Structure 1
């Protein structure tokens, strides 16, 4: 019975934080606000999470992995390698930054205010880079794999995604345009996007 209660409180904290992060952003959300939304006291939050950043990681990591899993599933259903390549950038640079009211920007806010004692984690970034490399290699002809394999290109894709996440937060009406995606696809594939 006690274990069930602990799981309910843990879930309530995460649900409250997710709602508040989406509505207010990481910087404007406080642990007392999260506690109030979960129906517990602020000290109780610290029984489950050591910091607000740890709460965000507990939400953001599975959230991002779900976005990547959905993209991967969608890519598997596309026959055209050129269309798969384009779709990677449409999702990562246009759709993901806007998804769920720009939720991804919370991590950008958190990292920009983090200190060395906040235990910033890089595991998710490394995983995303591996997934991006795999998706790109699957969408590119073998003779173009050297552009991706063993390079920092997947990291650059993540950094561009972070830039579009910040851009979406500060200038919401502006997104990554088709011309940018076409240019990047052309550079990687060596093919004219009109031929897709």
Structure 2
């Protein structure tokens, strides 16, 4: 599922980048509103059970400081244990806007704390687990900000990830199940993707 989501994000970035030239041509003939704030969410992610909201503050027209929160509802279909699980993450992101405005290409760096909690049952043994993950890396993208305030943002990034888990009971059988669940769902992944729609002001 996550691999499919990554493919969709990448395809959207590539296909919608054709708007860039037309947008920049229009902006060259019109004064650009100096937006300092932007709030957005990712509509495509909802189809995958991921709910995401972003806030960006633009300092001195070029330094973007972004805070993002994700909540993830995970299907029970990844292992025979029918694990019930969900996750959340907090992301802090710095962006350098080349055009000195919201409507700009940007590069940046991000840090993410993510945690998944779950419970299941295997061979009449009930168990639960917690799986924290810390990721950090770099990213790049494009933000379109129309004079009306309507905003589109596309970004891709990658880096490093450091994860662990604790299970109760802590047995080989339970840990094998949690490991299979992690591998099938692609938890250990420092991939960063954003396709968001929102409003700048």
TM-score, normalisation: structure 2: 0.28
Is the helix fraction higher in 1 or 2? 1
Is the strand fraction higher in 1 or 2? 2
TM-score, normalisation: structure 1: 0.29
